A and B are shown apart, each in its own frame.
Chain A
Amino acid sequence: MIFSLIKLVLTFPFIFVLPGFFLLLAVFGWKNEKISFFEKAVLVVPMSLISVDLLVLALNRLHIFLNGMVLIGVIIAFSLLCYIVFQLRFRKKTKKKQEEEISRNYFEFSYWQAIFILISIFLAVFMRTTYLSDTIIPSSTDLGHHMFWVQKIVDTGSLPDYGMPDFIIGEHIVFAVVNLVSGASIMSAMPVLVLLFLNIVGIFTLSILAGRIFQSPKTAAMIFFVSGVLYAINAPQGKYVSGGVVGNIIGNMLIPVALYFLYRAFSEKDSSFAGLFLFSAAGLLYTHHLSAFILLYSIAAVVLAYLALNFERIFKIIGDWLKIFLKPFPIAIFLLLAFYFLFIFTPSYFNPAAVAQATGEPTKITRIGLNLGQLEANAGSARLILGALGFALLFLSFKRKDYKFSFAFAWALVLMIMSWKPGWLYVNIPSDRIGNYLYLPFSLLAAFSLVELMRLFRKSSTIFLSTAFLFVLLFFVITDGLSDSADAFKVRPQFQEVMETFHSAKYLAEKLDTSQDILLKDHVNISGDSWYKLFFMKDYNYPLSRGMLFRYIDSTKPRETCTRDMISNPESPEGQACFSETGVNYIALNVQLEGNSFEKYPDFSKIYSSNYIAVFKRN
Chain B
Amino acid sequence: MRNPASRERREEKAELWKIMSSKIIIIATIILLIVSFSVLFVVEAKNHNYDYKKAWSVVYFENPRDDSLNFAIENHEGKKMAYDYNIFIDGKKVSGNKVEIEKGAEQRIVPVLDLDTSNGVSVSIEVSADDLKYKIYKNLGK
Q: Which residues of A contact B (CB under 8 A)?
A: 1, 4-5, 8-9, 36-38, 41, 107-111, 113-114, 117-118, 121-122, 125-126, 128-129, 132-133, 136-137, 187-189, 192-193, 196-197, 200, 204, 494-496, 499-500, 503, 507, 511-513, 517, 586, 599, 602-612, 615, 617, 619
Contacts and interface: CB of A to CB of B under 8 A. Distances in A.
B53 to A, nearest CB: 5
A9 B41 CA distance: 10
Contacts of A603: 139
B99 interface: no
Q: Which of B26, B37, B47, B57 has the most CB of A within 10 A?
A: B37
A489 to B, nearest CB: 15
Given A9-B34, A9-B38, 6 more contacts: A41-B22, A113-B21, A513-B65, A604-B139, A607-B61, A607-B136
24 contacts: A1-B41, A5-B41, A5-B42, A38-B22, A108-B19, A125-B32, A129-B36, A129-B39, A136-B44, A137-B44, A188-B44, A192-B44, A196-B36, A204-B29, A499-B49, A499-B50, A503-B58, A511-B64, A512-B64, A605-B138, A607-B138, A609-B136, A610-B59, A611-B132
A619 B41 contact: no
Contact of B57 (A187, A495, A611): A611
B86 to A, nearest CB: 15
Contact of B36 (A125, A187, A495): A125
Contacts of A126: 36
Contacts of A108: 18-19, 21-22
Contacts of B139: 602-605, 619
Nearest to A516: B65
B56 A496 contact: yes
A4 B42 CA distance: 10
A612 B39 CA distance: 28
B138 to A, nearest CB: 4
B24 interface: yes
Contacts, number: 170
A110 B39 contact: no
Contact of B33 (A114, A200, A503, A507): A200
Contacts of A129: 36, 39-40
A132 B40 contact: yes
A113 B44 CA distance: 35
Contacts of A111: 14, 17, 21
Nearest to A190: B41
B113 interface: no
Given A9-B34, A38-B25, A136-B47, A512 B17 contact: no
Contacts of B24: 114, 118
Nearest to B15: A108
A189 B41 contact: yes
Contacts of B32: 121-122, 125
A1 B138 contact: no
Q: Which of B23, B47, B137, B142 has the most CB of A within 10 A?
A: B47
Given A110-B18, A136-B44, A511 B137 contact: no
B40 A114 contact: no
A46 to B, nearest CB: 15
Q: Which of B44, B49, B53 has the most CB of A within 10 A?
A: B44
Given A9-B34, A193-B37, A495 B47 contact: yes
A607 B44 contact: no
Interface string B115-138: 000000000000000001011111
Contacts of B59: 608-610
B122 to A, nearest CB: 8
A502 B19 CA distance: 51
Contact of B37 (A9, A114, A503): A9
B60 A507 contact: yes
B82 to A, nearest CB: 18
Contacts of A122: 32
A610 B54 contact: no
